[in-house]
Amino acid sequence: MSNETWGNIIGVVTLVSMLTFIGIWIWAWQKRHRKVFKHLSEIPMEDQPDGLARPIPTKETIDPRGENRP
């Protein structure tokens, strides 16, 4: 293959990559996604995630024998 052919292939790959990036960016910033992304961004700040029956074991909740306290 000649250098011109490789240049065309690289140009097409670059264009497709750029259009894919722009498409994902537009999709992510749509208003209908705002509520879900807002909720997902707050999950790390929650004290206890949904569905967790008991608190996560810490130094205060584990007795010296290594068992969880009730």
CA 50 to chain centroid? 18
Mean pLDDT in residue range 18-33 = 91
Which tokens belong to 69?
Answer: 């306290």
Question: Quick one: pLDDT at residue 50?
Answer: 61
Q: Distance (Å, rounded) from C-alpha 19 to C-alpha 22?
A: 5
Amino acid at 23: G
pLDDT tens string 26-42: 988 888 878 888 888 88
Tell me the pLDDT band of 25, cut-offs 50, 70 and 90.
very high
Question: Quick one: pLDDT at residue 5?
Answer: 92
pLDDT tens string 1-17: 788 999 999 999 999 99
